[in-house]
Amino acid sequence: MAGLTKKLYNNAPYFIKYILLNIKGYLNKKKRFNKDFKRFLKEHLVLWEADLKTVETYQKEKLSLLLSEAFKYSEWYSSIMKQQGITLDAIESNPMEVLIKMPLLLKDDRKNKVDLIVNSSRETVMLNYTSGTSGTPMVDYLDLYSLNQSFAIWYRFHKVIGIKNNCKQVRLSGNLIVSPKTKKPPFWVYNSFNKQLLMSTYHLTDANLSSYIKKLNTFKPSLIDGYPSAIYILSRFIIKNKLVLNFKPDAIAVTAETLYDYQRDIIESAFNCKVFNQYASSEGSPFITECINGNLHLNTDSGVFEFLNMEGGPAKPGDIAKLVVTSFINYKTPLIRYDIGDTILLASENKKCNCECSMPIIEKIIGREDDILWSEEKGFVGRMDTAYKGLTGIKKSQLIQENPNQLIVNIVVDNDFSDDVQKTLIANLKDRLGENINYHVNIVEEIPTGSNGKIDAVKRNFEINI
C-alpha cells in the first residue's frame, strides 16, 4: 500500500483494516494469478528439471529480449549502449558478449534515475517501494508480464519444497499489519483471498508471544514464511517454554534477512519441519532458492549472476563474492549489471547437487555488503553466527563494528546467561576477528527493528579502503 491508501490503512480500526487488506488481496490475486502466470509456472517447472544446455538457451533468449527492449525503450540504457557502440544486431547475435560491455548500474543511479531507466513500452500496473537500508524508499515500476513471471518463479520454489497450491499460510514481514501502539491481540490480519495470515513483526515481545503461538495453533498453517529473525523469536519461545504445537507445517521459507545456522537449528526444532532459504529482492533481482537437498541454486532462468571478489575482481570458488545481477523478473524497470550490494559465499569448485535441478549452486547467502566485518588480522569475515553456537541465555544479538578496532556487541539475555557465557562469546569473536579489536558487550532490554521490520544483526559502519 502506498500514499493515501497506506495512511488510511494505518489509521483505520481493525475491522476496516481487514476490509482494506482483503480488497487489496482480491485485486492482487486477479493481477498475479492469471492465464499468463499459469503458463509461466508450467514453463519454469520444466526448466527446473531441464538439462543445463536447455536452461542456458532460455537464458540467452531472455537476455536478448531484455537488452533489445532496453536499447529501444529505456533512455538510460539506450544512451549507454550507443556510447559503447552496441547495436540491435549485436544484441541478437551474442547478448552475453554485449552484457559484459555494459557498466555497472549503481544504487544511487537506480534510485535517482529511475524515470530514465524505465521501459517506456510497458504499462505500469503496480508500484513497489523498497525500504532499503538508508531509510529512503526506492520506487519500482512493474508491468503485468513481469509481475506474472516473478510470482511464477516464486510459486515454483514453493512447489519444489512441497507446498501445495492454495494452502493456509502465515507471513511475518516488515509490513505494518496493525498499529505499533497496539497492546493486545490481534497482532495479525487475515487475507482470505490468499488464505494468508499476516502477522506483525513489531509486537514480538515476551508479553505477546503466547498470543502468537495460540493463534498459530488455531490457524494451523501449511507454510510459514518471512523474516528468519521473527520466526526464530517465536521458535525460541516455543522451546524455552516447552510448548506443544498441535500442527506441523509442510515447510518454513525464510527471506529478506541472512539466515544463520543457529536460527535454522532452533526453528526446525521448534516446528519439527525443514527450513528453506531463498534470495530475491523487492527491486526485482533474480532468485536463489534452496532445494530439497539443502543446496542453494542460482535460478539462472530468472537472470544472469556475476560475482566479484571484495577487491572488485572476478571471484573464484570459495570466495566471499559481491553480487552483480541482470534480471528477467522486471522488464518495466530493467536491472542490467546491477550492483545490488549483497554478498554470497561461492561453493567450492565442481560442487554438484544430486537433486533434479542442474542449475549452479552457491554455498551461502551472506546478505548486505555492510554485513561483512573486517579486521587487519583476519581480513573479511562474512559469517559470525558460529560465534553463538552452543551458547545459552542469549535471546537476541547485534554486532556493530564502528571502526576496524572496535566491535560493539548488543545482547538481550535471560536467566541462563552468565559471566562464563559472556567470556566464551568474546573468545569466539576473537577467534573470528582477532585479538587486536576492542570488544564492548552491552546487555540491553531490546534490540529495535528498523523501519522495515528487520533486525540488523551485523552492521559495519565504515568503508574499507582496498
Q: Please give the pLDDT value at position 4.
A: 46
Is 336 part of any domain?
yes
First-to-last alpha carbon distance for the chain, in angstroms, is 41
Asked if residue 13 has pLDDT above 90, the reply is no
The enclosing domain of 431 has a CATH number of 3.30.300.30
- Calculate the average pLDDT of the chain: 88
Are 330 and 451 contained in the same domain?
no
For residue 133, name the pLDDT band (cuts at 50, 70, 90). Answer: very low
- Model confidence pLDDT, tens digit, residues 84-108: 999 999 999 999 999 999 999 998 9
User: Looking at the structure, do residues 248 and 335 belong to the same domain, yes or no?
Assistant: yes
Instruction: Give the CATH number, domain containing residue 309.
Output: 3.40.50.12780
Percent of the chain with pLDDT over 90: 57
Q: Are 78 and 72 contacting, i.e. CB atoms less than 8 angstroms apart?
A: yes
Q: Mean pLDDT lowest for which of 20-24, 249-253, 424-428?
A: 20-24
**Is residue 383 scored above 60 in pLDDT?**
no
- Would you tell me how many other CB atoms lie within 10 Å of the CB of residue 181? 6
Q: Is residue 465 part of a domain?
A: no
pLDDT tier for residue 416 given thresholds of 50, 70 and 90:
confident
Q: How confident is the model at residue 390 (pLDDT cuts 50, 70, 90)?
A: confident
Q: Which residues pair with 101 in a beta bridge?
A: none
Q: Give the whole-angstrom CA distance, residue 80 versus residue 82.
A: 6
- When computed from its CA atoms, the radius of gyration of the chain, rounded to whole angstroms, is 22
Mean pLDDT, rounded, for 421-431: 88
Q: Does 431 score more than 80 pLDDT?
A: no
| Total domain count, the chain | 2
In a domain, 141, yes or no: yes
- Does residue 1 surpass a pLDDT of 50? no
What confidence score (pLDDT) does residue 3 get?
47
Give the C-alpha separation, 369 to 5, whole Å.
34
Confirm if 230 and 236 have CB atoms less than 8 A apart: no
Range among 114-118, 161-165, 409-413, 414-418 with highest mean pLDDT value: 114-118
Report the sign of the C-alpha dihedral through residues 192, 196, 197, 199, in that order: negative
Helix (H) or strand (E) holding 298: strand 296-298
In-domain check, residue 75: yes
**Number of helical H runs and strand E runs in the chain:** 14, 21
Is residue 386 predicted with pLDDT exceeding 70?
A: no
pLDDT digits over 260-290, tens only? 888 899 999 999 999 999 998 878 899 999 9
Reported confidence tier of residue 352, pLDDT bands at 50, 70, 90: confident
Q: What pLDDT, on a 0 to 100 scale, did the predictor assign at position 258?
A: 82
* Residue 466 maps to a domain: no
9-29: average pLDDT: 80
Residues 339 and 377 in one domain: no
Q: How far is CA 208 from CA 147, 186, 219, 254, in A?
A: 36, 10, 17, 22
- Among candidate residues 352, 369, 386, the one where a domain is terminated: 369
What range defines the domain where residue 423 resides?
A: 372-460
Residue 324 has pLDDT above 50, yes or no: yes
CA 175: distance to chain centroid? 14
| Secondary structure percentages of the chain, helix, strand, coil, to 5 | 35, 25, 40
pLDDT the model gives residue 155? 94
Query: Among candidates 40, 31, 5, 4, which has minimal Cα distance to 19?
Result: 5
Q: Please state which of the ranges 26-30, 225-229, 249-253 shows the lowest mean pLDDT.
A: 26-30
Residues 335 and 387 in one domain: no
Comparing 176 with 264, the larger pLDDT belongs to: 264
DSSP E strand boundaries for 138-247: 138-142, 169-173, 188-191, 196-200, 223-226
Buried b (16+ CB within 10 A) or exposed e, 91-128: beeebeebbeebeebebebbbeeeeebbbeebeeebeb
> Does some domain include residue 455?
yes
Mean pLDDT of 137-154: 90
Domain boundary among 369, 389, 416: 369
Q: Are residues 88 and 130 in the same domain?
A: yes
Q: Residue 378 pLDDT more than 50?
A: yes
Q: Could you tell me the pLDDT band of residue 175, with boundaries at 50, 70 and 90?
A: confident
